[in-house]
Amino acid sequence: MNTLVAIPGRPSGVRPIVEGLPFTRIGQVAAGGLGDPEVIPLWYGESDVPTPAFICEAAAKALAAGDTFYTFKRGLPELRAAIARYLTRLHARPVTQERVIVTSAAMSAIMIVMQALIDPGDNAVIVAPVWPNVADAVSVLGGEPRALVLQPAETGWRLDLNRLEALCDARTRALFVNSPGNPTGWTMQTSEAMELLAFARRRGVWLIADEVYARLVYDGREAAPSLLDIAEPEDRVVVLNSFSKTWAMTGWRLGWMVAPPELRAVVDKLVEFNTISAPPFIQRAGIVALEEGEASVAAMRELCRRGRDIMVQGLNRFPRLKVASPVGAFYAFLKVDGVSDSLAFAKEVLARTKVGVAPGSAFFGGGEGHLRLCFASAPPRLEAALDRLAPVFS
């Protein structure tokens, strides 16, 4: 029998920083209700709408044609060209195909960018509250995530850029901003994007923008303000996106990034080490989603707009709660009076009502005392959830 022998002076077993990462708090809540058909699941960030049939048919057609082999690490040229056309249509400045890199989901893009930039001891400043995987990606690499916490405002949330300078030092490598934001729905305005870009240029740090909810805005615009509207192709700016939310493709795991020249060759290597490439038959479905999917995008936006109105109006009936109507994304992020342990409270909500919610403490930086509810669902489901929640929130 083989015996593991510890080498003096070297750690044994799993890396402590990885072993010590906490299990996702949303997952801790969901573990108490997954598989229960009576639970209304509003904890995860996805719609109850299945992927549109025409996208599924494109993938099936590609599979039937044998499109199952290794392919370009940066993505199929046809998909990269389609993404470039799509972004050029939406934003103030053109995006060329050479700037686009396809990834196996936006999470893969986040991890790859952090692998390219973060050494042990470096730090990244992250606008927060935010999806926890972003901060954890920095931590896994031995870096320090630092939260630039959004400030509560009467109509939502406010970014205080005066606090940014104090968070940065000689080891700051990147600023990360998610807009429209998960979990708050905060949406960066062009003036704020210009200030962040100016700061990044002045300090020489990278500016990473997660824009996966860019099309889910409710003020009449086709897309939220983007760094692609203002940045030069050579700026140290990386813009990430995904097919997951806009086209109801969460399980497909397909995303992209727009990157400057100095990062692109490095990303080639890192895609190789992480996934080799995104599956080609899924990429074929992505092309069809971009080229034929605008009606589906509009339908998703309308579903979420209706869901937002139902959820925000319904929650504001309860005096314990404070929730603003978000400009973008598809979450209600509500402050619950008297709650200081949102994880325990989310578990209590599930046990008492069979409604699955996400605890605010799951989101890196400033979320404690809140709950997040995803409203990207059909109105009857949301109305049933509100009825069930009434005894807890009243």
Omega within 30 of 0 (cis) for the link into 326 = no
For residue 187, CA distances in Å to 217, 224, 287, 355, 390 come to 9, 7, 27, 27, 29
3-state helix, strand, coil in the chain (%, to 5): 40, 15, 40
Owner of token pair 């699955």: 356
Two structure tokens written together for 1: 């029998």
Sign of CA dihedral 104, 105, 109, 110: negative
Per-residue pLDDT band at 13 (split at 50, 70, 90): confident
pLDDT in tens, 229-277: 999 999 999 999 999 999 999 999 999 999 999 999 899 899 999 999 9
Q: The tokens of 31 are what? A: 């573990």
Give CA torsion, residues 337, 327, 157, 194, to 10 deg.
Answer: 170
Q: Over the stretch 173-221, which tens digit does the pLDDT of each residue have? A: 999 999 999 999 999 999 999 999 999 999 999 999 999 999 999 999 9
Do residues 366 and 158 touch, judged by C-beta distance below 8 A? no
pLDDT of residue 154: 81
Instruction: Identify the sign of the CA torsion 33, 39, 45, 48.
Output: positive
- Contact predicate 374/45, CB 8 Å: yes
The answer to whether the beta carbons of residues 365 and 147 sit under 8 Å apart is yes
Checking 93-99 for CB contacts under 8 A at 24+ apart, the result is 93/228, 93/229, 93/230, 93/231, 95/228, 95/258, 96/233, 98/264, 99/233, 99/258, 99/259, 99/260, 99/264
DSSP bridge pairs for 328: 217
Residue 333 in 3-state DSSP?
A: strand
Please give the pLDDT value at position 273: 94
Q: What's this model's pTM, rounded to 2 decimal places?
A: 0.95
Work out the mean pLDDT of the chain and round it to a whole number: 95
| Cβ(378)–Cβ(48) below 8 Å | yes
Place of tokens 């509810």: 373
9 CB-side CA count, 13 A:
0
The share of the chain scoring above pLDDT 70, in percent, equals 97
| pLDDT at position 8 | 66
Hey, which residues does 149 pair with through a beta bridge?
Answer: 128
CA distance 103 to 304: 26
Looking at the domain that runs over 16-51+295-393, which CATH code has it been given?
3.90.1150.10
Kindly report the CATH number that applies to the domain delimited by 68-292. Answer: 3.40.640.10
Domain with CATH 3.90.1150.10 in the chain: 16-51+295-393
pLDDT for residue 87 is more than 90 = yes
Q: Give the span between the Cα atoms of 303 and 248, in whole angstroms.
A: 12
Alpha-carbon dihedral of residues 292, 294, 299, 305, nearest 10 degrees? Answer: 150
Q: What is the pLDDT of residues 21-58, one digit of tens each?
A: 888 999 999 999 999 999 999 999 999 999 999 999 99
* Residue 314, SS3 per DSSP: helix
Residues of the chain with CATH 3.40.640.10: 68-292
Pair 277, 75: CB distance under 8 Å: yes
Query: Whose CA is closest to 196, among 179, 178, 175?
Result: 175
At residue 304, what is the residue type?
C
Tokens 């092309």: give the residue.
Answer: 287
Q: pLDDT grade, residue 10 (50/70/90)? A: low
